[in-house]
Amino acid sequence: MSLRPPAFWQRPAADPGWAARAAAPLSALYAAATARRVARAPRRRAGIPVICAGNINVGGTGKTPTVIALIERLTARGRAPHVISRGYGGSESGPLRVDPLRHDAARTGDEPLLISAFAPCWVGRDRAACARAAEAAGAQVILMDDGFQDPALHKDLAVVVVDAAAGFGNGRVLPGGPLREPVAAGMARADLLLSIGPPQAQAQFDAALGDHAEGAGVVRLRGALEALRTGMEWEGMPVYAFAGIGRPEKMFETLRDLGADLRGTRALDDHQPLSRALMSRMEAEAAALGAQLVTTEKDAVRLPPEFRGKVLALPVRLKLADPAPLDAALSALGL
């Protein structure tokens, strides 16, 4: 999404408010359209395993850190993963193999540009065509960044990723809520449900989830995003943080947990372009506060060239509480 979600999306499911109720007819139409789309037979079955890291919510839930974690896990198991993506926010119709030395986020989208530093990444409007290109280039396993509701390609393992703190919001489908499809419908097609967040958020999500996952036989995974130890001393550092991700507050909270002196923050829209004018304003605001500009890795790939040496990136990685269910699922695929 490029705009911030409305506050009523996060109201309790038992009391969603008048706006959600008024949107109910449109939500029903959206859910029906999604159901028709996902009911289509997959246009292609790849000759190698296909793993999808997708979501039921719109917006950011932690798919990119999940894809990076899957890359690292598969690589450690001696496999050669390639990633395919629609390249949200980019102009490329593809299939195109992303080259971080030649391409920019305006062409490929920010997430593929970031992911390409970890594994070969292909962008294109047709995910099946991207899969063919990846296979021809020597991929041993394909990771889909998003695409849970796309029937273009058969999925051998579907991982639904959810932000534990946000959960499934009010439980309603667009535009009355934050969901692409009803929770029960999504869970019926999922193999693993990965909730990402601290222990308190995990407990709240478990309580709100009820019987959705258990009833569908979905295996649970729990994880948290942790700052990568790079030798950077964040303790006491005066920072001005900005982020254009699903929930910018997550990045700000991570900096607080690291002991940074958070003197200013700016929450941007997800995937918001970082124009020179915007960056100049934030640079001036940071200077007035005596603070260092800091952003996420995903935002950093969208920085104008002249600002890349002025802004620090905060890298985070997904750490699973218990990776055994994931390892078992990978082994079942011969990975």
One domain, residues 144 and 292: no
Q: What is the DSSP letter of 218?
A: P
Q: What angle do CA 295, 299, 305 make, to 5 degrees?
A: 95
Q: What angle do CA 236, 237, 241 make, to 5 degrees?
A: 125
Q: State the total domains in the chain.
A: 2
- Sign of torsion over alpha carbons 58, 64, 69, 71: positive
One domain, residues 208 and 289: no
Q: Is 217 annotated as ligand-binding?
A: no
Residue among 221, 165, 163 at smallest CA distance from 191: 221
Q: Is 223 annotated as ligand-binding?
A: no
Q: Is 254 annotated as ligand-binding?
A: no
One domain, residues 255 and 189: no
Q: Is 62 annotated as ligand-binding?
A: yes
pTM of the predicted model as reported, rounded to 2 decimal places: 0.93
One domain, residues 144 and 293: no
For residue 130, is it within any domain?
no
pLDDT in tens, the chain (335 residues): 345 789 999 998 889 899 999 999 999 999 999 999 999 877 789 999 999 999 999 988 899 999 999 999 999 999 999 999 999 889 999 899 999 999 999 999 999 999 999 999 999 999 999 999 999 999 999 999 999 999 999 999 999 999 999 999 999 999 999 999 999 999 999 999 999 999 999 999 988 886 555 545 689 999 999 998 888 899 999 999 999 988 899 999 999 999 999 999 999 988 899 999 999 999 999 999 999 999 999 999 999 999 999 999 999 999 999 999 999 999 999 99
One domain, residues 258 and 274: yes
Q: Is 58 annotated as ligand-binding?
A: yes
Name the residue range of residue 244's domain: 238-314
Q: Is 124 annotated as ligand-binding?
A: no
For residue 101, is it within any domain?
no
One domain, residues 157 and 205: yes
Q: Is 310 annotated as ligand-binding?
A: no
Say if residue 10 is exposed, middle or buried (CB neighbours under 10 Å; 0-12, 13-18, 19+). Answer: middle
One domain, residues 277 and 145: no
